Amino acid sequence: MKVLKFGGTSVGSVNSITTLLDIVKKEVDNGEKPVVVLSAMGGVTNLLINMAEEAAKGNEFTAQLAELEKRHFDVVKSLLEISNQNPAFTRLKIQFNQLEELLQGVLTLRELTPKTRALIVSFGERCSTIMVSKIAAQHFKNAFFVDASDVIKTDSAYGNAKVDTELTELLIRDLHQANTDKVLFVTGFIASNGEGQITTLGRGGSDYTAAIFGAALNAEEIQIWTDVNGMMTADPRMVKKAFPLPELTYTEAMELSYFGAKVIYPPTMIPAFLKKIPIVIKNTFDTEFAGTVIKHDCRESNLAIKGISSINNISILNLQGSGMVGKSGFSGRLFSLLAREQINVILITQSSSEHSITFAVQPDNALRAKALIEQEFELELLANKLDAVVIEDNLAILAVVGENMKQTPGVSGKLFHALGRNGVNVRAIAQGSSEYNISVIIGEHDLAKALNAVHDAFFVDLYKTLYAFCLGTGNIGKTLFKQLNAHTEFLRKENGIQVKIVGISNTRKMIFNSDGINLDNWEEKLEASNKQADLRAFIDVMKDMNLPNCVFIDNTASPKPIEFYEEVLNSTISVVTCNKIGNSGSYDQYKRFRDAARQHGVDFFYETNVGAGLPIIRTLKDLMNSGDRVQRIEAILSGTISFIFNQFKGDANFHDVVKLAQEKGYTEPDPRDDLRGTDFMRKILILARDAGHTLEAADVEIESMLPKSCLEAATVEDFYACLKQEDAYFAAIKDKAEAEGKVLRYIGKLEDGKASITLQMVDENHPFYMLSGSDNIISFTTDRYKERPLVVKGPGAGAEVTAAGVFADLINVGAN
């Protein structure tokens, strides 16, 4: 035998009632005789309370009563054959007349007692159940209306009555035995006291009715039909990736729904828990969906945690002082006081030093709690054995829940790592030794970020979302968006990573969208934006959006974003940059970036600063981290100059070759940066620093490959003009090299802490002789790679390879 309970939305409309009856009919067709428990039609309970309260104030209720009648009558008209309608109307009309008399009484007396209130409210369930049972009778003859107040017996606490379980179970069994051939349609929520006066069962009352019937009749299962797909892993309003859980234990369901998950109100389920009757949460609006099974044992499930619950808007009170240490009666006095005054304590922590106790309450209880404590502990406060009581507001609780944590080390590690990495400050922590709940108190403004970060950390079978804010929409920026767009699906499926670009700015405009900017038409969107570019504002919006796994990407060649790197890292946001200006500024600044990243546990990635996408920074870092030491670096690190010397042969003209390099996207936005050696200098400087040397830019010796006139060109235009003028100068160098059977190479070197860049002519015996295109080559001679150096070689400039390097950095964020 099953108990099927339908909530207000399931009894709310013609459509949902049709589905409800289909569900019941399926059971009946299978030879079952389920017990069907019904709530009032959606919204009706509130309407009844409202009418009663208004009547008590002397206000009219006729219009609302008419509305109530109409809602029920409309359903009858739609779902009952005309010949069957009159008896239903009559039954319902009797109810509405009684209700009207009652309300009239309240209006006359201007008084609404709890007893009358319970009675008025009970009409909601009675009317819905009469209505549905009448409609059901049209489909199966044995549909039978039961007013639960005949069998559920309670005390006289009218709005929140306590059930006399023994008597109730007896009455339910008698009723059932007398009607074994019937399908019972039972009013939820309502009961009666010893004198037969109507009482109601309080919050979640209809679920309670279902559980009481289930327990009394030893049901094989209790189905709770509602309007969602089951209990979710987290609050879906805050965590988009929250998903319905297939199964949970009773304890887990209790813990999860304690904070917010509104699907069921667990205390009402206790009669079912005690008899180990499975409870299945099902969706009336998606009947095929399996829903959530809540049962005694979920051994098959291997999830360490089942879900993350949260409660917004709490306050904490902190009590500390020397007078507490070793005082055994202290907490007893404190919590008896709070219990006596009916202040519900949500969470308690005490450190083993016994120096302080922190507890959380609803904000509207905080001031009262403080005042009570000040009264109770007046003497201790006067004697300075206790410090003044402090209230902290605007806090939230986040709790990870799951019985499997007992056997799984690392759960708290994962929780705190996810919080720490996202800059979420933890104010207090509580874990019971039963180990199925770890609760942390955090700032309310961090709750959504924390929930998402923790959800991503634990439910890895889904995918992790990185939120990226991007500066610069030039060569590299554009190409990165194109690559990301093309690989979205692959990334999510194969790597478990979703990248959302949530902010973009160039020098003119900026846009934001926390759902992710559509990369099919980001250019139009950016162009159409009414937000003028403003770096300060961009950073502020990024910080305010307070997203988890957040990354700031600098794809500009500007010094301006650099000024914000530290602030960004200090805000626990990772930085990915292809802009070399930051790392090649002062050594002090170079160091501060690293310190900030380390201190806040975020990443600072800049692989493309040297050799574009080639794994050079990473290789050096691995060498250094594994204890190797660099003795010497020799390298060609300008893709532009490499390309120029590989093209500048025979009849070629220097000016045209440089132009071609720029057209191919190898040069810096300003090609003078390449040809003057600035770009190369930055790279060798960054490598020297990463290899452990405290070098400054001025320490790098640069042999110019340009004649003096070109070095001084005031604009890019002048520069190109000068290259043209100096054609003979470049041709002479080229001819000399060709005559000797050599090639031109611009080579950087780091040895004994000294860095230099020189223009060389090398013959075929030199390892750098054989280079083509925009190739870079770097050879590391180290303590371990001594006889033969470690060499990395390949295309070291160009939009595709650079954007790919930024892409790789981006998806490595948070990987360790």
Ligand X SMILES: NC(=O)c1ccc[n+]([C@@H]2O[C@H](COP(=O)([O-])OP(=O)(O)OC[C@H]3O[C@@H](n4cnc5c(N)ncnc54)[C@H](O)[C@@H]3O)[C@@H](O)[C@H]2O)c1
Q: Which residue has the tokens 């039961």?
A: 146
Rounded Cα distance, 642 and 778, in Å = 13
Residue 475 interacts, among ligand HSE, Na ion, ligand X, none and using kind-specific CB cut-offs from 5 to 8 Å, with ligand X
Q: Phi and psi dihedrals of 342, rounded to 5?
A: 60, 40
Provide, rounded to whole angstroms, the least separation between the CB of residue 777 and ligand HSE.
12
CA triple 472-811-539, angle to 5 deg: 40
Provide, rounded to whole angstroms, the least separation between the CB of residue 685 and ligand HSE.
13
- Residue in 666, 719, 730, 807 binding ligand HSE, rule: CB under 6 A: 666
Terminal-residue alpha carbon distance, the chain: 52
Q: x/- contact string, 677-716, with ligand HSE (CB under 6 A)?
A: --x-------------------------------------
Contact 635/776 with Cβ under 8 angstroms? yes
Residue 702 interacts, among ligand X, ligand HSE, Na ion, none and using kind-specific CB cut-offs from 5 to 8 Å, with none
Closest of 318, 294, 289 to residue 306, by C-alpha: 294
Nearer to ligand X, 321 or 472 (CB): 472
- Residue in 233, 506, 572, 638 binding ligand HSE, rule: CB under 6 A: 638
3-state secondary structure at position 615: coil
Residue 579 interacts, among ligand X, Na ion, ligand HSE, none and using kind-specific CB cut-offs from 5 to 8 Å, with ligand X
Residue 638 interacts, among ligand X, ligand HSE, Na ion, none and using kind-specific CB cut-offs from 5 to 8 Å, with ligand HSE
Instruction: For the sheet with 356-361, list strands across it.
Output: 347-350, 356-361, 307-320, 390-401, 437-443, 426-431
Binding of residue 679 to Na ion (CB under 5 A): no
Nearer to ligand X, 471 or 499 (CB): 471
What is the Cα Rg of the chain in Å? 37
CB contact set of 557 (below 8 Å; sequence gap of 6+):
472, 474, 579, 581, 668, 669, 670, 673
Rounded Cα distance, 267 and 734, in Å = 88
Alpha-carbon distances, residue 765 vs 79, 733, 762, 770 (angstroms): 94, 20, 8, 9
Binding of residue 205 to ligand HSE (CB under 6 A): no
754 is catalytic: no
Binding of residue 208 to ligand HSE (CB under 6 A): no
Contact 550/469 with Cβ under 8 angstroms? yes
Residue 640 interacts, among ligand HSE, ligand X, Na ion, none and using kind-specific CB cut-offs from 5 to 8 Å, with ligand HSE
Query: Which one of 25-33, 276-284, 554-562, 665-673 is the stretch in contact with ligand HSE (CB under 6 A)?
Result: 665-673
Contact 56/116 with Cβ under 8 angstroms? no
Provide, rounded to whole angstroms, the least separation between the CB of residue 608 and ligand HSE.
7
Complete DSSP assignment for 760-805: EEE-TTSTTSS--TTEEEEEEEESSS-SS-EEEEEE--SHHHHHHH
Residue 472 interacts, among ligand HSE, ligand X, Na ion, none and using kind-specific CB cut-offs from 5 to 8 Å, with ligand X
Residue 674 interacts, among Na ion, ligand HSE, ligand X, none and using kind-specific CB cut-offs from 5 to 8 Å, with ligand HSE
User: Which secondary-structure segment (H or E) carries 323?
Assistant: none
Nearer to ligand HSE, 547 or 797 (CB): 797
Provide, rounded to whole angstroms, the least separation between the CB of residue 473 and ligand X.
5
Binding of residue 242 to Na ion (CB under 5 A): no
Residues that bind ligand X (CB under 6 A): 471-477, 505-507, 533, 535, 555-558, 560-561, 578-580, 608, 612, 639, 665-666, 668-669, 797-799, 802
748-807 residues in contact with ligand HSE (CB under 6 A) are: 796-797
Rounded Cα distance, 119 and 72, in Å = 19
3-state secondary structure at position 606: coil
Rounded Cα distance, 302 and 68, in Å = 49
- Residue in 252, 255, 668, 690 binding ligand HSE, rule: CB under 6 A: 668
Contact 719/684 with Cβ under 8 angstroms? no
Q: x/- contact string, 602-621, with ligand HSE (CB under 6 A)?
A: ----------x---------
Provide, rounded to whole angstroms, the least separation between the CB of residue 686 and ligand X.
12
Number of residues that bind ligand HSE (CB under 6 A): 11
Rounded Cα distance, 346 and 330, in Å = 19
- Residue in 69, 235, 252, 607 binding Na ion, rule: CB under 5 A: 607
Amino acid in the structure at residue 728: A
Provide, rounded to whole angstroms, the least separation between the CB of residue 589 and ligand HSE.
20
Nearer to Na ion, 377 or 643 (CB): 643
Complete DSSP assignment for 690-732: HTT----GGGSEE--SS-HHHHT-SSHHHHHHHHHHTHHHHHH
Provide, rounded to whole angstroms, the least separation between the CB of residue 789 and ligand HSE.
21
Closest of 503, 505, 577 to residue 546, by C-alpha: 503
Spot the catalytic one: 153, 449, 683, 734: 683
Binding of residue 684 to Na ion (CB under 5 A): no
Binding of residue 226 to ligand HSE (CB under 6 A): no
Q: x/- contact string, 612-651, with Na ion (CB under 5 A)?
A: --x-x-----------------------------------
Provide, rounded to whole angstroms, the least separation between the CB of residue 639 and ligand HSE.
3
The residues annotated as belonging to the active site are 683
- Interaction site with ligand HSE (CB under 6 A): 612, 638-640, 666-668, 674, 679, 796-797
